Amino acid sequence: MWVTTLWRPTGPEELALLRESNWRSWPPRLPDQPIFYPVLTEDYAIRIAREWNVPHSGSGYVTRFRVESTFLSRYPVRLAGGRDIRELWVPAEELAEFNRHIVGRIELVHTFGTTAA
Query: For residue 7, with 0-12 CB atoms within 10 Å meaning exposed, 13-18 middle and 19 or more buried, which class applies?
Result: buried
> Structurally, how many domains does the chain consist of?
1
Q: Collect the ranges in the chain with pLDDT lower than 50.
A: 116
Q: Which percentage of the chain shows pLDDT scores above 70? A: 97
The CATH number of whichever domain residue 50 belongs to comes to: 3.20.170
**Model pLDDT for residues 65-97, shown as the tens digit of each residue:** 999 999 999 998 887 777 778 899 999 999 999
pLDDT of residue 106: 98
pLDDT of residue 115: 58
**Residue ranges making up the domain that contains 51:** 3-113
pLDDT of residue 13: 93
Whole-angstrom Cα distance, residue 24 to residue 22?
Answer: 5
